[in-house]
Amino acid sequence: MRYTIVTETYPPEINGVALTVQGLEEGLRQRGHAVALVRPRQPADEDAPPCPDTLLVRGGRLPRYPGLRFGLPAPQALRAHFARHAPDAIYVATEGPLGWSALRAARQLGIPAATGFHTRFDHYMDDYGMPWLRPTALRWMRRFHNGGDATLVPTLELGQWLEEQGFHHVRRLARAVDTRQFHPDFRDEALRTQWNAHPEAPVVLSVGRIAAEKNLELAVRSFRSLQRDRPQARMVWVGDGPERAALEAAHPDFIFAGMQRGEALARHYASADLFVFPSRSETFGNVTLEAMASGLTTVAFDSGAAREHLRSGLHGAAVGDDEAFVTAVCALGAQPARWKAMGAAAHQAVQALQPAQVAADFDVLLSRLARQRRPHAHVVPA
């Protein structure tokens, strides 16, 4: 089969969508399919040789997110690219201008298209002080995704909610975690020494973009509450973002490790003890699975990856409100034997979530769309 993936974010950009898309692309290639990629041009592309399977389009900088870009509409280039590569189906991972343009081109050429629902932009409206725009954001997302033939979501919970909101053809595509990369064996005592970590006092870890939509204040409040009883506890932040400078200035005792990749990221995970994920705007939260695979007791809200895979009292705590979040962090952080046992159980719980199975499921979804081409679609010459 021939597939095309359209995305407005892709490595070396680091975020959940970029890494998920790259994993799906690599999985399809490993299954023997021809995969073309359409994405915005990045600074790293200036000196790189051209790739025949990749179409680079113009993009713009994303406000408040240095290093990230969005793709500009490219209808003619997309129609020509689709005509040349003749994909059996396409996957549009992002709802930006490039994504909209790709869906229109696919409809004109009669190519079935699946879309990926990765981000709750309606929640972002609250986080950035514009709650009155939440219904508008939801209508915009619904119109975009209903323009495709299937909307892929990572959890049953999200799929049910979208159907209640009028989204059509919602399909679940589970997520996985690389249990070879994220593993307790990467625990690094030298790194813990740099953090001035005490053997019986917890290192609390946050991994992700340091931005308003991540509910950072709750992570800070939880740690400070824990620290009152466990003064030797440490708070480590992995990632970067628009709120980092203010957070660093307000809390000089916090440890900011910046962006980490590969084995360095695995060492940061495995060298901590308690993982906190206070975000309410995620559709899934890949970092939850990465933390569990690394052997960390995890505290998160009862949604997304935590709803699907984290069992309260066994792997950590999946909570319903802010106060329960703070209480869980304090209770677990005060019991070394308990957080070690829960971390070991969390590691075992995610061993079956293999990327190869997700790639196989993705392949099945796209191949079914290819066999069920919409009969009313018409072909427009490139």
Q: Do 202 and 144 fall into the same domain?
A: no
The percent of residues above 90 in pLDDT, for the chain, comes to 75
Contacts of 86 (CB under 8 A, 6+ apart): 2
Write down the pLDDT at residue 64.
Answer: 61
Question: Around Cβ 185, how many Cβ atoms within 10 Å?
Answer: 9
Closest CA to 255 of 242, 271, 266: 271
Q: What DSSP letter does each residue of 1-21 carry, written as one string?
A: -EEEEE-S--TTS-SHHHHHH
pTM, whole model, 2 decimals?
Answer: 0.87
| Gyration radius of the chain's alpha carbons | 21
Does residue 85 lie within any of the structural domains?
A: yes
Q: Do 151 and 235 fall into the same domain?
A: no
Does residue 377 lie within any of the structural domains?
A: no
Does residue 381 lie within any of the structural domains?
A: no
Please state the domain count of the chain.
2
Q: Do 172 and 289 fall into the same domain?
A: no
Considering all CA atoms of the chain, what is the largest pairwise distance in Å, rounded to the nearest integer? 69
Q: Do 150 and 27 fall into the same domain?
A: yes
Closest CA to 212 of 237, 248, 242: 242
Q: Do 109 and 197 fall into the same domain?
A: no
Domain of 230, in residue numbers: 184-349
Instruction: Dump pLDDT digits (tens) for 71-117.
Output: 888 999 999 999 888 999 999 999 889 999 999 999 999 999 999 99
Closest CA to 36 of 77, 95, 97, 96: 77
Contacts of 283 (CB under 8 A, 6+ apart): 117, 118, 119, 120, 153, 154, 155, 158, 304
Q: Do 209 and 119 fall into the same domain?
A: no
Does residue 360 lie within any of the structural domains?
A: yes
Contacts of 38 (CB under 8 A, 6+ apart): 4, 5, 6, 7, 54, 55, 57, 78, 81, 98, 102
Does residue 265 lie within any of the structural domains?
A: yes
Residue 219 has pLDDT above 60, yes or no: yes
Does residue 199 lie within any of the structural domains?
A: yes
Token digits of residue 89: 């189906």
Helices 322-333 and 216-229 sit at what angle, rounded to 10 degrees? 40
CA distances from 139 to 115, 120, 281 (A): 16, 12, 17
Q: Do 20 and 102 fall into the same domain?
A: yes
Q: Do 36 and 158 fall into the same domain?
A: yes
Q: Do 129 and 29 fall into the same domain?
A: yes
Question: Around Cβ 218, how many Cβ atoms within 10 Å?
Answer: 18
Q: Do 239 and 309 fall into the same domain?
A: yes
Q: Do 325 and 363 fall into the same domain?
A: no
37 contacts 3 by C-beta, under 8 angstroms = no
Q: Which residue has the higher pLDDT, 123 or 379?
A: 123
Write down the pLDDT at residue 376.
Answer: 42
Q: What DSSP letter does each residue of 191-207 carry, written as one string?
A: HHHHTT--TTSPEEEEE
Does residue 211 lie within any of the structural domains?
A: yes
Instruction: Dump pLDDT digits (tens) for 27-80.
Output: 999 999 999 999 999 888 887 777 888 999 988 776 666 556 678 889 999 999
Q: Do 145 and 108 fall into the same domain?
A: yes
Among the residue ranges 49-63, 80-94, 215-229, 344-358, the one predicted with the least confidence is: 49-63
Does residue 380 lie within any of the structural domains?
A: no
Q: What is the CATH number of the domain that holds 259?
A: 3.40.50.2000
